[in-house]
Structure 1
Amino acid sequence: MKILVSILVLAILSITSTLTAQDKTITVTISNINSDEGKVGFALYNKDNFMRTPIESKEGVIKNGKTTIIFGNVKPGSYAVTCYHDKNSNGKMDFSANRMPLEDYGASNNVIAFAPPTFEGAKFTVIDKNVSLEIKF
Structure 2
Amino acid sequence: MKTATQLKNNVLTTLVLFVLSITLGFAQSEATTTIEGQTITVTIDKVKNNTGQVMFALHTKDTWMKGQGVQNVSTKIENNTVTVTFKNVKPGTYAVMALHDENENNSMDFENGMPKENYGMSNNPMSFGPPQFEDAKFEVTTEDLDFNIRF
TM-score interval w.r.t. the shorter chain?
0.7 to 0.9
Q: 2-side partners of 1:71 and 1:27: how far apart?
A: 6
Q: Structure 2: where are the runs of 5+ without partners?
A: 1-31
Instruction: Tell whether 2:88 aligns with 1:88.
Output: no
1:113 deviates by: 1.4
Q: 2-side partners of 1:104 and 1:45: how far apart?
A: 19
Instruction: Tell whether 2:83 aligns with 1:68.
Output: yes
Q: 2-side partners of 1:73 and 1:57: how far apart?
A: 13
Instruction: Tell whether 2:120 aligns with 1:106.
Output: yes
Q: 2-side partners of 1:128 and 1:38: how far apart?
A: 35
Q: 2-side partners of 1:80 and 1:128: how far apart?
A: 17
Instruction: Give matches, 1:110-121, under 5 Å.
Output: 110-121=124-135
RMSD between superposed Cα atoms in Å: 1.3
Q: Which structure has the larger Rg?
A: 2
Q: 2-side partners of 1:134 and 1:115: how far apart?
A: 22
- Percent identical pairs in the alignment equals 46
* Corresponding residue number in structure 1 for 2:51: 37
TM-score with structure 2 setting the length:
0.74
Runs of 4+ residues over 4 Å off in structure 1:
none
TM-score with structure 1 setting the length:
0.81
1:50 deviates by: 0.9
Q: 2-side partners of 1:121 and 1:114: how far apart?
A: 12
- 1:47 is aligned, of 48, 61, 68, to 61
